[in-house]
Structure 1
Amino acid sequence: MNKNIYILYISLTGNTKSFVHRLTAYLASHDVTVHAINVKETPDMQKLSQPFVTILPAFLDGGNGRVNGYHEILSPILSHWLGYAGNYQRCYGIIGSGNRNFNRQFALTAKQYAKRFGFPYLTDFELRGSQNDIERIASLLMEKAKEQN
């Protein structure tokens, strides 16, 4: 199995960053090294050479997610990173997050990215994620890492 997992993500409120840090620690306990880039903290785009997963919270412009509220705000830098040098071609999937109180807007931005860039929407978690989410997503990523070999 590939002992490295590469993650490209954005965290604006700290929830996704917390999730990635906890996921990294959990995977380290299984002898898997996570290489994560928070695009908010790394504004200089680079070509990514390894297959990676993207994690993206939902940031939309309000509304109800049906009639309006589909316009993405705050995270376009992640879209630019994916487009840069064809990085999206090495992305094997996206994981969405958000607040379930926002109903249909929950994880909607990640679903929009999956459609826009043509990679699969893998799963989602709420806010900072539970321990069950960490274990479930770690298992999914370890399986996806095997497929990349």
Structure 2
Amino acid sequence: MHQTPIYYYSSASGLVRTFAERLARPVYNLAEREHRLSEVDGAWVLLTPSYKTGNVDNDTIPEAIRRFLRSPHNRRHLVGIMGSGNRNFGAYYQRAAHEIAAASGRPVLFEFELSGESWDVTECRRIMAELDEALAARGPVAV
């Protein structure tokens, strides 16, 4: 069965990358220029960290994700969002995932803290497998 790819952004800390790579499916780091400038070839899921900038007027969504989502093609094929956050950030915890979900009308599929725990990986794999099945059942979608 086709596995829905995950496009993610990971900073130098590598926390999000660590989680994404543990999902055992195609993953693409938007910190890498070649991926950030690409266009998807079907349904995909976004995995984004949220940051506390210390400035309430400053964006919590990483710029690399903003650039990738500027493509109408990429936005059209987005089927869901996952978020990584740090509970120490209070109101900023998972803010990027929820802002993107609200703007795109797509659901937040999963949330975890930092690089996630083993049970987070297991649950996320289950959710993604269910998504793969649902997308396969609906067949090709005209866009």
User: Given the two structures, how large is their TM-score scaled by the length of structure 2?
Assistant: 0.85
What SS does structure 2 have at the residue aligned with 1:95? strand
Rounded Cα–Cα distance in structure 1 between residues aligned with 2:128 and 2:57: 28
- Asked if 1 retains the 8 angstrom alpha-carbon contact of 2:52 and 2:89, the reply is no
Change (3 A) 1:101 1:60: closer
Q: Deviations over 1:99-118 (max 9, x none)?
A: 11112211111111111222
Q: Deviations over 1:78-124 (max 9, x none)?
A: 12212214201111100011111112211111111111222111120
Give 1:5 shift: 2.6
User: Given the two structures, how large is their TM-score scaled by the length of structure 1?
Assistant: 0.82
2:108 is equivalent to residue 121 of structure 1: yes
What SS does structure 1 have at the residue aligned with 2:33? coil
Q: Deviations over 1:124-147 (max 9, x none)?
A: 000010000000011000101111
- Asked if 1 retains the 8 angstrom alpha-carbon contact of 2:9 and 2:31, the reply is yes
Partner of 1:17: 17
Partner of 2:62: 75
Instruction: Give the unaligned 5+ runs of structure 1.
Output: 25-33, 64-68
Partner of 1:49: 41
Q: Which amino acid aligns with 2:30?
A: V
Aligned length: 134
Give the alignment's Cα RMSD to 1 decimal: 1.7
Q: Which amino acid aligns with 1:114?
A: A
Rounded Cα–Cα distance in structure 1 between residues aligned with 2:57 and 2:122: 30
Alignment of 1:77-92 (within 5 A): 77-92=64-79
> Which gives a bigger RCO, structure 1 or 2 (Cα 8 Å, sep 6+)?
1
Instruction: Give the unaligned 5+ runs of structure 2.
Output: 137-143
Q: Which amino acid aligns with 1:80?
A: R
Q: Identity of aligned pairs, percent?
A: 25
Alignment of 1:28-67 (within 5 A): 34-43=25-34, 44-62=36-54
Which aligned segments of 4 or more residues in structure 1 are displaced greater than 3 angstroms?
Answer: none
2:6 is equivalent to residue 7 of structure 1: yes
What SS does structure 2 have at the residue aligned with 1:23? coil
What SS does structure 1 have at the residue aligned with 2:106? coil
Give 1:70 shift: 5.6
Rounded Cα–Cα distance in structure 1 between residues aligned with 2:5 and 2:42: 7
